[in-house]
Structure 1
Amino acid sequence: MSPKAPETIFNASIKLPEWLKADLFDNVLKDSFKDFKAIKEFKAVPGTNPGDNYATVVLQIKIVVELKDNTTESTTFMLKIPQQTKAYQEAFGKNTFSIFDMEREMFTIYVQEFKQLYRNIGLDIEFGAKCYKLDIPYEHVLLEDLKRKGFQPANRQAGLDEEHTLDVLTKLAQWHAASAVRVATMGPYPKHISEGFFNEDGKDFIRKMSDDRLKYLLKSFATIEGHEAYYEDLINMEGHITENVLDVAAVDPKEFNVLNHGDFWLPNLMFLYDPSSGKLLDSYLVDYQMCKYGSVAIDLLYFLISSPQLGLKVSKFDYFVKQYYDQLIKHLKILNYTKALPSLIDIHKTLLKAGIWGFLAACGVMAGCLLEPTEIARFDNLYAETPEGDQLRTLLFCSKVYKEHIKVVLPWLQNRGALQCRIKSNKK
């Protein structure tokens, strides 16, 4: 006689798909518990705080497992599923390849290849959580819950201090190095992995993140002391940002290229500490849905503009780039990279050429990092022409803290040529 199915308990504040049932996890649990007998309890709750995640719904799955000796153990998983909104479908529904399939491929194929490259030379380097697959036809990514291993998210509003920033840059350099060696030894990534959504399928979404956002930025920035110095450049960018972002996204075969994480900001990082001393031990990457092959500037600008503390973003930028570069070269060498090594000047050149990516980060994920937790911080409200949408954009771009960051970051970007969109877009 089969055991009675466990009661499924859901959090009433979130809408869960009808297919999410306890018995879907039987095979995963049999692999995790050799004496697995049955699921006693099954519960789904929100896995992230408002404002920490936009493109997907993240659920924590809590399960009480009964073993063959009639004892019980508790475990948790993190389940990512699509937003069931019109805005999400307009942004990602046109893609010929699901971002969930892409992420699962990243976890189960390419991350494993990167780890094997390091194991081949005697190094054990981890990048993220273990990934599982449920036997269902619906978009999803099922991951181990890193919090069970002691990993913690950082305070996105406070930003990272120097120690954490350097640790993350080391992990990024290890990732970039392995991704470049993988191409040199095994050939290019499939098109859907190498392009991500930076193609014609994703053009409308990029426009919503860039050109369509400019009117809100101009309104906010007009109230910042000293805005006169860069305001005309901002006005002249109108209608040219998307084109320039896609220009940067295009792969230049003459440059040193890597598989970028693509969404490399604070909510997609977790940290492990020594429980007795509190010493930082490791950092892991989370969320591989936006990977993109191309210049290292894509990840570097996105991260260094959005995620360190304000006092570090500009003053330590070149220092951080040098520390990343040293780790990149170190790991390219130990992985026996066979192609020409980039110089530090090469890295700085690509950072200057890709300056628009810094602007995209400053007017996108940087605002998200600094946003106070709010229930209206949802994907559809980022773009919706609704009262809630206007309210969210006002909160994102008009807060006192965000303006403090923009006051420092935007003049710095201007001095590096990052706001000269019109000039680049008129090239023959």
Structure 2
Amino acid sequence: MAPNNSIEYDADELEAPAWLDDEFFTKVMRNCETDAKDLHLNKLELFPATLKGDHYASVMFRAVVEYQCDGQDKTKRLIVKTMPFEDGNKKDVFEESIIFETEIGMYTQVLPRFEQILRDVGDDTILRAPILFHELSPRKIIIFEDIVPLGYEVLRGRYANAEEIKQSYVKLAKWHAISYKINIEEPGYFDEYHIGIFSMPNLEGNLLVTHGIDALIQQLETMPAMRKYLPFIQSIQGKLYEGTKRTAKEYFDAPKEDAIYVLCHGDFHDKNMMFKRDPNSGKLLDVMLLDFQLSFVGPLVSDLIYSYFLMLDSEQRGDFEQWLYFYYTHFKETLQKIGFEGRIPSLLQLHEQRWQHRYFELFLLMTYLPAWTTIRRGEADLEGAFTSNAVHKQLYADEEFLEEFEKLMRKYLHLGYFEEN
């Protein structure tokens, strides 16, 4: 199964585990063809599902299954998602997590309910790709319909354009609005969605996550023109990660009366989206949100801040207030449309709470953005970023990152992000 151009794929996706065999996929097909009297496989092909750097928490394969069902030849194209199985950082970080339990719940319970709420008010928005099979034992696995044959594509070699960003924020706004209403009217409904990425049991000590600010300081010390920022960074050095964790855990640990809590996507960036266009006109028809393993209840601004760094380019970040306004109009409109009778949060609250969670924003600037910059250029070595001091250090010497870092640092200084409450 291993492709010739293996450098383009994650090493743990070059060879599928032996248990992904004809017997297993026969079980999957029987789960899809529940009325079949006779079913057997004719051919099975497995390939890596994504390119290197597209994802990290799972191992994914694309499967083409040719089978015969009650005398009729059929073909299914599938996306197979399972837990990391090779020894290494990925397995260490995620093997004790509940990311598969979270995603299965999202696909089978939460998102179907969200879609039905929209259908009831005449909105046909699709919030999930078709899920065909899942189990947690003997192995954690989820199988989806491959939506590439349906016309959906991932973005390659570029950032999302304005049209794509708008459609992405529209879907997020609808998702957030529905979950905001449910969370207020049915307390406890989302209680099982309490572990996002910053609540993972084995994340502490990770190079990228908990030592990024140290690498940044070391880099800036070698750059006379950038040393002026060191006192500000050093003033929050011991607070940055703890402040980020407080944001992630706030709803369950110390909820605030004036906060806006929703079910967050948790990993909202355009590599977790696929876009469908009209093949003739090129018009954008849909954006499909993917990967709900890190969904959690938390401050509404969490997904928005995340998208600021992981979906927008430098120029688009300069227009973030415009994107926030666009998002908010659809959030408010959806709440009204689905019959929410409580007090609708104001746009001013969004801006205020963005500042309240500024440590999370600064954390993403100083830890995620260096790695994301190289991922965007197709130069990702995520495993190295998590485990190799040399690779991790190199991220902070990247000229593109440093240029954007200086631009944003000036902005945050002017906004008072380094001042005490």
**Category of TM-score, reference length = shorter chain:** 0.7 to 0.9
Task: Find the counterpart in structure 2 of residue 50 from structure 1.
Answer: 52
Question: How many pairs align?
Answer: 403
Task: Say whether residues 1:343 and 2:342 are aligned partners.
Answer: no
Q: Distance in 2 between matches of 1:83 and 1:414?
A: 44
Task: Find the counterpart in structure 2 of residue 139 from structure 1.
Answer: 140
Relative distance call for 1:134 and 1:348 in structure 2 (3 A) is closer
1:231, CA displacement in angstroms?
2.3
Relative distance call for 1:382 and 1:264 in structure 2 (3 A) is same
Letter in 1 for 2:243: N
1:177, CA displacement in angstroms?
0.7
Relative distance call for 1:345 and 1:280 in structure 2 (3 A) is same
1:383, CA displacement in angstroms?
2.5
Tell me if structure 2 keeps the 8 A contact 1:211–1:239.
no
Relative distance call for 1:134 and 1:345 in structure 2 (3 A) is closer
1:257-276 map, 5 Å: 257-276=261-280
Deviates more, 1:395-404 or 1:337-346: 395-404
Deviations 1:93-143 (A, max 9, x none): 444xx2111111111111111111111222111112122334542122222
Task: Find the counterpart in structure 2 of residue 101 from structure 1.
Answer: 101
Task: Find the counterpart in structure 1 of residue 204 from structure 2.
Answer: 204
Relative distance call for 1:111 and 1:364 in structure 2 (3 A) is farther
Q: Distance in 1 between matches of 2:416 and 2:203?
A: 24
Tell me if structure 2 keeps the 8 A contact 1:258–1:293.
yes
Q: Distance in 2 between matches of 1:145 and 1:365?
A: 29
Letter in 2 for 1:417: G
Tell me if structure 2 keeps the 8 A contact 1:181–1:332.
yes
- Please give the secondary structure, in 1, of the residue aligned with 2:39: strand
1:299-318 map, 5 Å: 299-313=303-317, 315-318=318-321
Letter in 2 for 1:137: P
Relative distance call for 1:335 and 1:48 in structure 2 (3 A) is same
1:209, CA displacement in angstroms?
4.3
Q: Distance in 2 between matches of 1:222 and 1:146?
A: 48
1:322-361 map, 5 Å: 322-361=325-364
Relative distance call for 1:110 and 1:407 in structure 2 (3 A) is same
1:85-124 map, 5 Å: 85-95=87-97, 98-124=98-124
Letter in 1 for 2:41: I
Letter in 1 for 2:83: I
Tell me if structure 1 keeps the 8 A contact 2:31–2:133.
no
Structure 1 runs, 4 residues or longer, greater than 6 Å off: none
Identity value in percent: 20
- Please give the secondary structure, in 1, of the residue aligned with 2:144: strand
1:244, CA displacement in angstroms?
0.8
1:331, CA displacement in angstroms?
0.4
Task: Find the counterpart in structure 1 of residue 247 from structure 2.
Answer: 248
Task: Find the counterpart in structure 2 of residue 149 from structure 1.
Answer: 150
1:39-78 map, 5 Å: 39-69=41-71, 71-78=73-80
Relative distance call for 1:270 and 1:418 in structure 2 (3 A) is farther
- TM-score, scaled to structure 2: 0.86
Deviates more, 1:291-300 or 1:38-47: 38-47
Q: Distance in 2 between matches of 1:149 and 1:305?
A: 29
Relative distance call for 1:406 and 1:16 in structure 2 (3 A) is same
- Please give the secondary structure, in 2, of the residue aligned with 1:204: coil
Q: Distance in 1 between matches of 2:398 and 2:164?
A: 25
- Please give the secondary structure, in 1, of the residue aligned with 2:238: coil
Q: Distance in 1 between matches of 2:142 and 2:403?
A: 37
- Please give the secondary structure, in 1, of the residue aligned with 2:315: helix
CA RMSD of aligned residues (A): 2.7
1:411, CA displacement in angstroms?
2.3
Tell me if structure 2 keeps the 8 A contact 1:354–1:418.
no
Letter in 2 for 1:117: I
1:345, CA displacement in angstroms?
0.6
Relative distance call for 1:355 and 1:74 in structure 2 (3 A) is same
Q: Distance in 2 between matches of 1:409 and 1:266?
A: 21
Tell me if structure 1 keeps the 8 A contact 2:45–2:63.
yes
Deviations 1:367-402 (A, max 9, x none): 34321334x7244x2332xxxx23432453332322
Residue in structure 1 matching 2:281, options 277, 291, 303: 277
Deviates more, 1:124-133 or 1:331-340: 124-133
Relative distance call for 1:241 and 1:322 in structure 2 (3 A) is same
1:60, CA displacement in angstroms?
1.2
Deviates more, 1:55-64 or 1:318-327: 55-64
- TM-score, scaled to structure 1: 0.85
